[in-house]
Structure 1
Amino acid sequence: MPGRSSLTLSHHAAELALIGCAALAWYFTFSGLGDMSMGPGTMGLGLWAFLGVWALMMAAMMLPSLAPLTSMYLRSVRAVRSRRVRALRTTALVGGYLLTWIGFGVVAYAAAELSGLLAEGAADAAPWVGAGVLAAAGLYQLTPLKDLCLRHCRSPVAFLLHVSGYKGRLRDVRVGLYHGAYCVGCCWGLMVVLIAVGVMNLAWMAGITVVIFLEKTWKYGPALSRVTGVALIVFALFVPAHPELLPGLYMTAGM
């Protein structure tokens, strides 16, 4: 029994460690991005610099909702009693998970570059494009594919059954990649919204983080997902008349 108690405590410690890493990522995000002007494009960042910032943002936004699943995964690996091994396996899982979001970051970089070009060269069309992006993201929240990916994120038992057969040194990285792929499928629409409102928009980052966390952990998460979709569609209706609502597609006079 003492051994089981110590394992339970260590799994909770792993969960708290992930939340602590997320808090640290938020600190560096606020301190590093707080001084950057919010607006369209990549803020002058090249691909690799953008991916570094994107990875930090994803760690801040996504690790809180990953923590409970990681703790349950470690709890299912009963043979792992060494703290060092558990730490390495947790790191490998989180690394694989973040790799999927870094991969999506390449798409985000291209979209951010396009938003900057659109805001500068087609200011009249940009609000309509932005409204379309918001409406599309909102509609995706209402689709069966969104529900499928969200059910995966909310069903740790099914997840554990699937990954229990993974073997080899990279098994934990594969576990992270597998879960991360579903997570991207669940949340990509909200991340596209983040590009439309400005990649460096910390207020929207915080709001989307709360939505994602509640979608995955709250008992009313699926209903919140649909409410969020409807809210995005309604918000999109106001954008053509008020393009300043989307800083990611709006070039101010100062810019």
Structure 2
Amino acid sequence: MTASTTNPPASPPRRAERVAALAIAALTLAGWTALALEAGRAGWGADALWQAVCRPVGLERGADLAGLAADYAVAAGFWVAMTMAMMLPTAAPMALSYAEEAAGGGFGPRPASPLVLIAGYLAVWTPVALAAAALQVGGGLALAWLAPPPRVAAALAGLAMGAAGLYQFSDYKLACLSFCRHPLDAAAARAGRTGVFRLGVGQGVRCVGCCWAMMALMLAAGTMNIVWMAVFAVLMTLEKTSSGVWMPRLIGAGLIAAGFAVAAGEAGLDALTRVLRA
């Protein structure tokens, strides 16, 4: 009689990983599609599309309540789309790490879906997007009323960029970034859907702490400049997927230099040189 042989059990299906990857990809694509459609309203020719993606989305600045409500609805829709387009890719390492660990049985026999984790993350960023839309509409009205001179506006823009650059060097920024790079909490992940949702919320809160300065620059610029949105999305993803402090500090140095260039360019380099030589 020959000894019976048994085949080794097949590795567990990676369904959770596929669900996480597809959900992030679909939501990110939906965000970029909404923004691209807005950019294409001026036409889909090469020149028209280039001008569209290099300008911020303009609001009608309605003076009455209905006009302001319409402005807010437009701004809110695009801020939510921008959140999905820019911030969800930066959360992909967290969601995929959770899904991989869950598929391997690290969080018990019945772990919560990674969609719960993503929902917790968006539960933080959606109110942030709605608040940013309100600030955009209110700030636009205030600027229209104050009408600052171009040099003052350039100085303020340069100051905002420099402040965002300095924030890249702060201990709080680096602490939030460290959490975003290593977010998984095994105890929370084993606490069922509630624990996993809270894990997503915690990741979202730290992500706001990590990225709020760059998002504030988008707000100051009028938002929805798709070229710069793509640049900032890449930068935020790079600093979360890199190691050490060199990437956030490199980004910070770039923002400080850009802020100086914006302010000095409007003020005039000749005038700045005379001041430095005095």
Relative to the length of structure 1, the TM-score reads 0.78
For the Cα contact (< 8 Å) 2:20–2:115, is it kept in 1?
A: no
For the Cα contact (< 8 Å) 1:25–1:57, is it kept in 2?
A: yes
Relative to the length of structure 2, the TM-score reads 0.72
Alignment of 1:21-100 (within 5 A): 21-35=27-41, 38-39=55-56, 44=61, 45-77=70-102, 78=105, 79=108, 89-100=113-124
Distance 2:153 2:118 in 1: 36
Residue number among 6, 14, 23 corresponding to 2:19 in the alignment: 14
- Where 1:14 maps in the other structure, the secondary structure is helix
Distance 1:114 1:186 in 2: 25
Compute the displacement of 1:52 (Å): 2.6
Q: Which runs of 5+ in 1 are unaligned?
A: 244-255
Give the aligned partner of residue 163 of structure 2: 136
Give the aligned partner of residue 263 of structure 2: 240
Q: Which has the higher contact order (CA 8 A, sep 6+)?
A: 1
Q: Does 1:4 align with 2:31?
A: no
For the Cα contact (< 8 Å) 1:40–1:119, is it kept in 2?
A: no
Larger radius of gyration: 2
How many residue pairs get aligned? The number is: 232
Change (3 A) 1:112 1:242: farther
Deviates more, 1:181-190 or 1:117-126: 117-126
Deviations, residues 161-180 of structure 1 (Å, cap 9, x unaligned): 3623644x533332221110
Alignment of 1:115-126 (within 5 A): 115-117=139-141, 119-120=143-144, 121-124=146-149, 125-126=152-153
Question: Sequence identity of aligned pairs in percent?
Answer: 29
Deviations, residues 219-249 of structure 1 (Å, cap 9, x unaligned): 36x3111111111111111223546xxxxxx
Deviates more, 1:40-49 or 1:18-27: 40-49
- Where 1:240 maps in the other structure, the secondary structure is helix
Distance 1:179 1:112 in 2: 25
Distance 2:16 2:60 in 1: 40
- Where 1:198 maps in the other structure, the secondary structure is coil
Change (3 A) 1:3 1:60: farther
Q: Which runs of 5+ in 2 are unaligned?
A: 1-7, 43-51, 62-69, 267-278
Compute the displacement of 1:67 (Å): 1.8
Distance 2:223 2:37 in 1: 15
For the Cα contact (< 8 Å) 1:42–1:199, is it kept in 2?
A: no
Q: Does 1:109 align with 2:116?
A: no
For the Cα contact (< 8 Å) 2:188–2:196, is it kept in 1?
A: no
Distance 1:5 1:137 in 2: 45
Instruction: Give 1:12's aligned amino acid.
Output: E
